[in-house]
């Protein structure tokens, strides 16, 4: 059994990035041109998987049987972060849950635009999350540039800013990684 | 300044001022594992999932709450279940009304029970990193009086055993134990924007909790390990023993917390801070963080547990244990105890600074029937007694 490689999200949650049976993990690198990009990806992750009504969580928890689908920006270098999607599922529900998340991801990658209502409600939840999360611990990787950049009021910011360019491409890369895993799992099952 | 100043709108509904755009409401119900009764492990957690599941395809209450920026959270512990809603104070009363309406309606779509049973199984796998038998959620540590559980077994065991749904029992459990008229309520709001009286009005008429939760039928329980075989801790003698079976994976200082009232917990935390500082001095390292119980939640629940402090990975107990123990167990000067109390009290203030943590701390304090500052009456003699009972445990 491979050892977990856990990294911490902005909200203090651990994400294990080592994919293995019963644990799905896919990552993609995300360029960070400006500190503001951190806010953009935090808001996008909130829109897609942060709430129970977000498309990925809705698919995983309300159509499937996942406790949580995590999509989060994780610190990498100063110019490049890691966008990671993970979920944990029992062996008996893995195939069905992976299929459900893949379907939702495909819709997101095909659809393109994140709608204005979805974007703005995500910003409101992001503001709540920022206000109700404990301060980052001193040794967190989030306490270094550009991840420690001052985060503006997300609600005001989201009204003048659109979702980050290229998010469809990143989601498509995650989709390809998950599709390959699913194909492998089905091949083994045969 | 240490704890929040709690004002009560009426018995069982407390609030404190929270500036800024975000407020929070926490409801603490006497619906923990202790209320499950014999032969129904997992019922409380399963009920939490069913109560919090959407009531229909419209995804209520999540659709309206999340669109407005609210976050909803629920946890089940030994003696209580906590539901917290936090979000913009501008639309706070609407959110409270939506939550109260959801709690009053226990109709759930067909298939919800089966789905939630599998979700719970996946939750345990997720939170224990695919190792539910590990110490992440199920530990117990030795004390002079026998093992004390840091045990989340009522969740872990049913999940490991398979799909135990309690599909027929949860509604009656919820109707008896998850009632807005019989819960402790914590509010962290700006009273200029959200009047606590209006929140109380939305919660409806209430039964008066005369003396905290124990008046509502939840008796404190002594938790003992439910799944592992018997272990004779007294036979282990004074030196560190082998506790792989119990899940001890590292060298650590263990402080048994047997006196589980707020002042007992507070004195254990003060002792823990002294121990971390002393160990850091001995090892010339930065003080290790304290871990209270399994989840490091302070003053959250009653019941015996343990406070642990990790020792450095290269700590060699064979050679140093006696010296270390003598140092750790020494009675502190009263001034040192007073400074430690100030330090831990300040940590508690920081921990409860956000609206959601503040609301939870208020509700849990009212639930326990002790809304005062838990660090106000820390007894130095009690701190010294905690120091005398510590043990250093090692993996073998």
Q: How high is the ipTM of this complex?
A: 0.93
- Range scoring the smallest mean pLDDT among A43-57, A62-76, B99-113, B162-176: B162-176
Structure confidence by residue, pLDDT tens digits, B3-41: 688 999 998 999 999 999 999 999 999 999 889 887 888
Q: Identify the pLDDT of residue B377.
A: 85
Percent helix, strand, coil in chain A (nearest 5)? Answer: 50, 15, 35
- Please calculate the CA angle B44-B47-B50 and round it to the nearest 5 degrees: 160
Q: H-helix or E-strand containing A57?
A: helix A55-57
The candidate with the shortest Cα–Cα distance to A82, out of A6, A158, A157, A139, is A6
The candidate with the shortest Cα–Cα distance to B148, out of B68, B248, B60, B31, is B248
Q: List Cβ neighbours of B304 (8 Å cut-off, separation of 6 or more).
A: B143, B148, B222, B223, B256, B257, B258, B260
Angle between helices B43-52 and B153-161 (to 10 degrees): 90
Kindly tell me if the per-residue pLDDT of B321 is higher than 80: no
CA distance A83 to A41: 9
As to burial, measured by CB atoms within 10 angstroms (0-12 exposed, 13-18 middle, 19+ buried), residue B136 is middle
B63 contacts in chain A (CB < 8 Å): 53
Write down the mean pLDDT value for chain B.
82
Structure confidence by residue, pLDDT tens digits, A59-90: 999 999 999 999 999 999 999 999 999 999 99
A4 contacts in chain B (CB < 8 Å): 129
Check if CATH label 3.30.830.10 holds for domain A6-189: yes
Mean pLDDT of B248-266: 78
Kindly report the nearest CA distance between residue A83 and chain B, in angstroms.
19
A135 contacts in chain B (CB < 8 Å): 350
Kindly tell me if the per-residue pLDDT of B372 is higher than 90: no
A127 touches chain B (CB under 8 A): yes
Q: Identify the pLDDT of residue B56.
A: 82
A121 contacts in chain B (CB < 8 Å): 66-69
> Given pLDDT bands bounded at 50, 70 and 90, which one contains residue B260?
low
Q: H-helix or E-strand containing A125?
A: helix A116-132
Best mutation target among A58, A90, A94, A133 (most B Cβ atoms within 10 Å) is A90
Q: Do B67 and A117 touch (CB under 8 A)?
A: yes
| Spatial contact of B267 and B378, defined as CB atoms under 8 Å apart | yes
CB neighbourhood size of B11 (10 A) = 14
Q: Helix, strand, or coil here: A59?
A: helix
Strands B184-189, B13-17: parallel, antiparallel or unpaired by DSSP?
parallel
Q: Identify the pLDDT of residue B315.
A: 67
Query: In angstroms, what CA-CA distances link B208 with B7, B55, B181, B215, B371?
Result: 16, 29, 9, 10, 16
A138 touches chain B (CB under 8 A): no
Q: Identify the pLDDT of residue B226.
A: 36
Structure confidence by residue, pLDDT tens digits, A23-60: 999 999 999 988 889 999 999 999 999 999 999 999 99
Q: Helix, strand, or coil here: A114?
A: coil
SS3 letters across chain B: CCCCCCEEEECCEEEEECCCCEEEEEEEECCCHHHCCCCCCCHHHHHHHHHHCCCCCCCCCHHHHHHCCCEEEEEECCCCEEEEEEEEHHHHHHHHHHHHHHHHCCCCCCCHHHHHHHHHHHHHHHHCCCCCCCCCCEEEECCCCCCEEEECHHHHHHHHHCCCCCCCCHHHHHHHHCCHHHCEEEEEECCCCCCHHHHHHHHCCCCCCCCCHHHHCCCCCCCCCCCCCCCCCHHHCCCCCECCCCCCCCCEEEEEECCCCHHHHHHHHHHHHHHHHHHHHHHCCCCCCEEECCCCCCCCCCCCEEEEEECCCCCCHHHHHHHHHHHHHCCCCHHHHHHHHHHHHHHHHHHCCCHHHHHHHHHHHHHCCCCCCCCCCCCHHHHHHHHHCCEEEECC
CA distance B35 to B388: 34
Residue predicted with more confidence, B211 or B349: B349
> Given pLDDT bands bounded at 50, 70 and 90, which one contains residue B396?
very low
Strands A6-8, A14-16: parallel, antiparallel or unpaired by DSSP?
antiparallel
> Given pLDDT bands bounded at 50, 70 and 90, which one contains residue B277?
very high
Q: Helix, strand, or coil here: A42?
A: helix
Q: H-helix or E-strand containing A70?
A: strand A70-74
Residue A35 gets which letter from DSSP?
T
Q: Do B122 and A117 touch (CB under 8 A)?
A: no
Q: Do domains B7-216 and B234-393 have the same CATH topology?
A: yes
Residue ranges per structural domain of chain B: 7-216, 234-393
CA distance B155 to B170: 15
**Quick one: B7-216 is in which CATH superfamily?**
Metalloenzyme, LuxS/M16 peptidase-like (3.30.830.10)
Nearest chain B alpha carbon to A133: B354
Best mutation target among B56, B126, B350 (most A Cβ atoms within 10 Å) is B126
Kindly tell me if the per-residue pLDDT of B171 is higher than 80: yes
A132 contacts in chain B (CB < 8 Å): 22, 24, 71, 86, 354-357
Q: Identify the pLDDT of residue B245.
A: 40
| Spatial contact of A48 and A108, defined as CB atoms under 8 Å apart | yes
CA distance B301 to B265: 10
Q: Do B126 and A68 touch (CB under 8 A)?
A: yes
Q: Do B357 and A132 touch (CB under 8 A)?
A: yes
Pick the CATH number of B234-393 from 3.10.129.10, 3.30.830.10, 3.40.50.410, 3.40.50.11890: 3.30.830.10
Kindly tell me if the per-residue pLDDT of B152 is higher than 50: yes
Residue ranges per structural domain of chain A: 6-189
Residue predicted with more confidence, B237 or B122: B122
Kindly tell me if the per-residue pLDDT of B162 is higher than 60: no
| Spatial contact of A89 and A97, defined as CB atoms under 8 Å apart | yes
Indicate the residue of B21, B121, B355 with minimum beta-carbon distance to A90.
B121
Mean pLDDT of B64-84: 95
Mean pLDDT of B373-394: 88
- Range scoring the smallest mean pLDDT among B7-11, B160-164, B211-215: B211-215
CB neighbourhood size of A157 (10 A) = 17
Beta bridge partners of B292: B307
Indicate the residue of B20, B66, B121 with minimum beta-carbon distance to A121.
B66
* Of B129-133, B214-218, B227-231, highest mean pLDDT: B129-133
Beta bridge partners of B341: none
Q: How many Å is the Cα radius of gyration of chain B?
A: 22
CA distance B375 to B286: 24
Q: Identify the pLDDT of residue B160.
A: 66
CA distance A45 to B23: 23
Cβ under 8 Å to A: B residues 35-64 = 54, 59, 62-63
Q: Do A124 and B68 touch (CB under 8 A)?
A: yes
Residue A14 gets which letter from DSSP?
E
Q: Identify the pLDDT of residue B129.
A: 85
CB neighbourhood size of B334 (10 A) = 11
| Spatial contact of B361 and B186, defined as CB atoms under 8 Å apart | yes
CA distance A37 to A43: 10
CA distance B167 to B381: 49
The candidate with the shortest Cα–Cα distance to A164, out of A37, A29, A27, is A37
Q: Identify the pLDDT of residue B231.
A: 33
As to burial, measured by CB atoms within 10 angstroms (0-12 exposed, 13-18 middle, 19+ buried), residue B160 is middle
Mean pLDDT of B360-372: 91
């Amino acid at each position: 059994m491979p050892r977990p490689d856990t990294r911490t999200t902005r909200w203090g949650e651990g994400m294990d990035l080592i994919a293995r049976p019963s644990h799905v993990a896919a990552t993609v690198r995300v360029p960070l041109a400006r500190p503001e990009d951190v806010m953009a990806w935090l808001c996008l992750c909130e829109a897609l998987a942060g709430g129970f009504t977000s498309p990925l969580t809705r698919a995983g928890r309300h159509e499937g049987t996942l406790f949580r689908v995590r999509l989060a920006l994780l610190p990498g270098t100063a110019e490049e972060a890691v966008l990671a999607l993970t979920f944990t599922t029992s062996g008996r529900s893995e195939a069905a849950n992976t299929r459900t998340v893949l379907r939702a991801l495909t819709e997101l990658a095909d659809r393109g635009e994140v709608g204005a209502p979805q974007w703005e409600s995500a910003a409101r939840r992001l503001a709540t999350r920022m206000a109700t999360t404990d301060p980052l611990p001193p040794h967190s990787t989030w306490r270094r540039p550009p991840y420690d950049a001052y985060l503006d009021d997300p609600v005001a910011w989201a009204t003048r800013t659109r979702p980050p360019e290229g998010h469809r491409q990143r989601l498509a890369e995650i989709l390809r990684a998950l599709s390959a895993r699913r194909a492998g799992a089905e091949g083994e099952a045969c | 300044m240490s704890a929040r100043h709690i004002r009560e709108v009426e018995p069982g509904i407390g609030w404190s001022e929270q500036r800024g755009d975000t407020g929070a409401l926490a409801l603490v119900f006497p619906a923990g594992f202790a209320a499950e009764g014999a032969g129904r492990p997992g019922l409380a957690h399963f009920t939490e999932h069913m109560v919090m599941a959407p009531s229909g395809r419209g995804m209520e209450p999540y659709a309206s709450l999340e669109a407005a920026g609210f976050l909803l959270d629920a946890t089940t512990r030994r003696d209580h279940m906590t539901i917290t809603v936090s979000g913009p104070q501008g639309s706070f009363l609407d959110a409270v009304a939506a939550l109260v309406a959801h709690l009053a309606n226990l109709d759930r779509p067909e298939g919800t029970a089966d789905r939630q049973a599998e979700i719970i199984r996946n939750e345990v796998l997720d939170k224990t990193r695919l190792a539910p038998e590990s110490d992440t959620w199920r530990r117990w540590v030795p004390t002079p009086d026998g093992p004390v559980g840091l045990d989340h077994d009522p969740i872990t065991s049913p999940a490991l055993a398979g799909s135990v749904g309690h599909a027929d029992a949860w509604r009656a459990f919820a109707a008896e134990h998850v009632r807005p008229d019989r819960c402790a309520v914590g509010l962290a709001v700006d009273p200029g924007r959200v009047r606590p009286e209006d929140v109380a009005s939305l919660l409806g008429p209430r039964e008066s909790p005369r003396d905290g939760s124990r008046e509502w039928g939840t008796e404190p329980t002594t938790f003992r390990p439910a799944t592992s075989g018997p272990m004779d801790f007294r036979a282990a003698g004074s030196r560190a023993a082998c506790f792989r079976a119990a899940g001890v994976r590292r060298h650590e200082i263990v402080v048994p917390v047997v006196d589980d009232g707020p002042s007992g917990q507070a004195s254990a935390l003060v002792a823990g801070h002294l121990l971390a500082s002393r160990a850091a001095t001995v090892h010339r390292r930065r003080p290790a963080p304290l871990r209270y119980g399994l989840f490091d939640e302070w003053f959250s629940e009653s019941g015996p547990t343990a406070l642990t402090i990790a020792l450095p990975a290269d700590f060699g107990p064979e050679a140093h244990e006696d010296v270390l123990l003598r140092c750790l167990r020494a009675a502190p000067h009263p001034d040192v105890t007073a400074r430690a109390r100030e330090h831990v009290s300040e940590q508690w203030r920081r921990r409860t600074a956000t609206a959601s943590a503040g609301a939870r701390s208020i509700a849990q304090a009212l639930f326990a029937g002790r809304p005062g500052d838990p660090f106000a009456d820390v007894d130095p003699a009690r701190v010294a007694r905690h120091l005398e009972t510590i043990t250093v445990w090692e993996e073998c």
